Amino acid sequence: MPVKPTVKQQLKVSILRSRLYKQVKKFLHTANIFLPTLEDGDIKPFEEEVIETPSEEAVVAQDFEDDSLDQEIDYEEEDESEIPLVLPELLALPLPSNIISKKPQPSLESLRSVERELRKGQANDALEGLRVGLANKSLLFLKDVNKSTSTKQTTRAWDAVRNVQSQINAQARYYQRAWQELECIGTAEDHRVYQKLASKDLVTVKDITSAKRFGQGSDALAWFWRTGPSQDTLTGEWMEECKLN
């Protein structure tokens, strides 16, 4: 929400939280069919680890601008009795990856396999988004920021960079969440392929921004540039565009 939300926006968020709470209740009801009986201590709450861009490359991300909170919403079907006492986004869902009960649970193995594949897909999508975001940020520095000749061009260029930085932050957060779950249910091969992100990984591609720099031969791209598509596919399109400019 904005720093100073309107009453209408606060009301809409409350209604959306109520709807989310209904979905959580439905999920919990269905989960009881597939999962063994669990105690509160059997579920590990999710603790998010935020990875920050290195200070030398940090760009203040653009504020989230979305007018959806100001759009009309149908309140007629809302049931006030469903207004949650606890924020639904803080509730820990009983997923195979965060069940830490030491009791034998053979019934969870098939569910862990399903979640493992879903998390790998989530991680792959996030890494692809991260590669695209970092390459786009690099290209913006090369084409727009460094070649701006007026205040208007500079302002527009930095707005574009901030927008891309928001996307990079989001993709890094999505990947980190998937990686945390794969640490619990992934195989040895998964642990080798999907590594933890570090701040030093979230940097622009120097081969794009500074193609003829000193020490270029000793530089190496972050590990995720070698995961998924081939090396040529990852950098070829952007490098070709750099050559044209």
pLDDT(222) > 70: yes
Ordered by start, the domain boundaries in the chain are 7-244
43 φ/ψ angles, rounded to the nearest 5 degrees:
-110, 125
Give the max Cα distance, the chain.
Answer: 67
Contact between 153 and 144 under an 8 Å Cβ cutoff? The reply is: yes
Higher per-residue pLDDT: 62 or 226: 226
Residue 84 has pLDDT above 70, yes or no: no
pLDDT at position 183: 92
Check residue 110 and give its pLDDT: 85
pLDDT at 175 exceeding the cut of 70: yes
Lowest mean pLDDT among 18-32, 100-114, 146-160, 228-242: 228-242
What does the pLDDT read at residue 58? 76
Kindly state the average pLDDT of the residues 75-80: 57
Average pLDDT over residues 118-142: 92
Looking at the whole model, is its pTM more than 0.95? no
Residue 99 — very low, low, confident or very high, per pLDDT cuts 50/70/90? confident
Please tell me the least confidently modeled range out of 39-48, 77-86, 157-166, 191-200. 77-86
Contact 174, 126 (CB under 8 A): yes
Position with higher pLDDT, 125 vs 34: 125
Tally Cβ neighbours within 10 Å of residue 91.
17
- Local confidence band at 208 (pLDDT 50, 70, 90 cut-offs): low
Angle, helices 108-140 vs 151-185, to 10°: value is 160
pLDDT of 65 reads: 52
**In the predicted model, what is the mean pLDDT of residues 220-236?**
67
Per-residue burial over 127-162, b = 16 or more CB atoms within 10 Å of its CB, e = otherwise? bbbbbbbbbbbbbbbbbbbeeeeeeeeeeebbebbe
Higher pLDDT pick, 244 / 19: 19
